Amino acid sequence: MKAKTPNAIDAYVGERVRLRRKLLGMSQVSLSESLGITFQQLQKYEKGVNRVGASRLQRIAEVLGVPIGFFFDEEKSQAAGLRLSADTDEVAHFIASKEGLALTRAFIAIENPNIRRRLLALARSLGSTQSVADEYGWDHADETRG
């Protein structure tokens, strides 16, 4: 009998484990110790190399403070499941980066909703400005144009 191999859903679950762990600022070592496994085993789960059993996934959800559905919610794992959309995948990778985590935490710390809206509007306008600069081949020194 052939052993079951991981599939796209396993990889997606692993991505969600990694994303949540990073959003909490938790290391692989810390999470793996809480789960009673090696950090190498956790790495394999996060990369989708190894499948996560149901009881282990339940424990991961408890430690990370999320319901089990968190690991499958992305549009019901793209209708029973394949990967994140390219756009969502890009966002997830950014949020899991050092800069993304820092930006997210700083934004969450802003209590005034008006300031949050203004900051979001500023970020959108800067993104639009960068798109125009890229389109015309302007470098950052030319940002006064347009």
pTM of the complete model beyond 0.75: no
DSSP E strand stretches across 12-139: none
Q: Which amino acid is at 14?
A: G
Average pLDDT over residues 61-70: 90
Residue 82: pLDDT over 50: no
Binned at pLDDT 50, 70 and 90, residue 74 comes out as: low
pLDDT score, position 138? 56
Give the integer Cα–Cα distance in Å for 41 and 97. Answer: 22
Binned at pLDDT 50, 70 and 90, residue 144 comes out as: very low
33-42 long-range contacts, CB within 8 A, separation 24+: 34/63, 35/59, 35/60, 35/63, 42/17
- In total, the chain counts a number of residues equal to 146
Binned at pLDDT 50, 70 and 90, residue 34 comes out as: very high
pLDDT score, position 32? 95
